[in-house]
Amino acid sequence: MPAVFYLAYGSNLHPLRLTARVPSARIVSVVEIPGFFLAFHKRSVDGSGKCLIYSEQGQHHKMHGVLYEIDAREKNALDKAEGTGNGYREQLMQLQLDGKTYLPYVYVAQSTHIDSTLVPYDWYKELVIAGARYHGFPADYVASIASIPSKPDLNAKRRRENEELLRQIGQV
């Protein structure tokens, strides 16, 4: 089976969330990427802020993520879940791990969908935190995510569905 690599940095960090979308997902490695930082400024169709990464070359930022391997036949399902063409575009990023070069797909926010006034829903931020904790990201990185303002999701059905996922993960 041909495989592709995917770099998760937001709500897909936790394998339970990702394998619900892409069943073949397998963790390759946790990665630290200098020169990038995480924000919640990508405008979603629901009006909330979703994760995006900013490149700040020459700065002292570090982003943490997880390199996953997925069956290439499931890439379209991942594109759909991520909203490719609806605020995100895919990009290849070169990573060096243990002497091996990987070219994972990473989803980057389109400039037309970035709004620094947005905040995430509470459940969305908690999904990101759950994934960061699951993978043992540094405590200060997890704390920086936790410090991001968030808001309640007024859509009761969506909120319940995501709170149920958080219960399954063990975060609620």
Q: Does the structure show a pLDDT above 90 at 42?
A: yes
Using one digit for the tens of pLDDT, what is the confidence trace for 102-143?
999 999 999 999 999 999 999 999 999 999 999 999 999 999
Give the model's pLDDT for residue 58.
61
User: pTM of this prediction?
Assistant: 0.93
**Residue 29 token pair:** 């490695």
How is domain 3-169 classified at the CATH fold level? Hypothetical upf0131 protein ytfp (3.10.490)
Domain boundaries, given as residue ranges, for the chain = 3-169
Burial (0-12, 13-18, 19+ Cβ within 10 Å), 8: buried
Strands 62-71 and 88-92: unpaired
Sign of the alpha-carbon torsion through 146, 102, 108, 166:
negative
Rounded CA gap, 172 and 168, in Å?
A: 8
Tell me if 52 sits within 8 A of 87, measured CB to CB.
Answer: no
